[in-house]
Structure 1
Amino acid sequence: MKLNFLFCSVVVWQDTVMSLSGPILCHFLFGDLVESEIINVYMIIMQKQSLQHGFEIYCMDTMVQKEVLTKLEQHGKRSMKMQIHHFLMNDRWHWFLLVYKRDEGIFKLWNSMHDPFSVGKAKVYTKFLAASIRHLWGFDLVSEPVLREPCRQQGATLDCGIYACMWLECLARDTDEIWSYAQNVKMDTYRARLAATILSDENGLLKNKFE
């Protein structure tokens, strides 16, 4: 019981506003579905890495996105200030990546399992963003159509969240090497890469405990 308590109390990543527990990362590493906590931490790390490559990506917390989408579907409200470019979104337990390409002025959908429900969810969100930004700053975004980006498909697996995280890294680094890597890497290998990235980050357990 004491060992179990100590294991549950381990924090493997932490900053001033967010933390990730050891059990969540451990379960993910050994085959469980990716959780929102892991994705939120990974988005923070990818944002920092994009700065190292000369630009910056912006991401929204997945729990905030779910709350916004729920309110939109229930009440149709259009009143929240945002400056976000990348949205790792969840629709009925399926993860996909919605990206606003500022240089092109369009939204793109990265989806490892294309289905009309995810497309519909993305369109609801882009309309909301376009209306909000137009109202707040007078800047027009093209909210439709949402362009589907050709990308690897997950097949008969439950790895959608890992695919979405992988594409987020590709966009954060945006090098020929990382795009080529993403075309061929096995998802179990990327699962390990994702966990190692979190642990070795400046706020991760390995960086803080063993260096």
Structure 2
Amino acid sequence: MAYFPFFIDIQDKHCLVAGGGAVAYRKVRVLLSFEVYITVVAPVICKELKDLAKTEDRLILLEREFQATDISQSFFVIAATSNSTVNETISTLCKQANTFVNVADSKEKSNFLFPSIIKRGDVVVGTSTSGNSPDVAKWVRTQLEEALPDYVAELTENLGKYRSIIKERVESETARKKAFKELLCLGRKAEGKVEDAMFEQVLKDLEDWNEN
């Protein structure tokens, strides 16, 4: 069964990561780029996580065994311990509490999947094989990374500045779509740069198009 890619705002939400090894570290690194507050709990925590915590105020490390009360303030939970029994316990507790949980080695025990992610500014692409093959998900991500231009984040940010203005100044839905498309083409040619002069030219072209 294919899983639906449900994009959700997790900024300033609280996440619990159970496990202190390489898998936990990789997931923590990704999540921090989305400005999440993360608590890692594990009896042994790897050096990479400890080093990361020195520079990340949003990351708290608790070097001890997982406790059932750890999930109480969490919006979502990642179970990434090396103990399948502990992971299953975490899964059960989260589901009973209606809390999102991802068990790193078991899609059956998860109620959401952690995709292979590309993040360039506000452009986010998540690839998933619905838990069937993480290697395929990574391969697809690599193909997409190679296809995306380096300026995609700058282009997206710049186009976003003009989106609301176009909605205010252009009444026709057809004309709006034309304006967005033309501005995108100009921005791509300029490798991400979108300036007021380009925007005004697009509006002028629209006026000429409407007259015809």
TM superposition score normalised by structure 1? 0.27
- Structure showing greater radius of gyration is 2
Q: Which has the higher helix share?
A: 1
TM superposition score normalised by structure 2? 0.27
Larger relative contact order (CA 8 Å, sep ≥ 6): 1
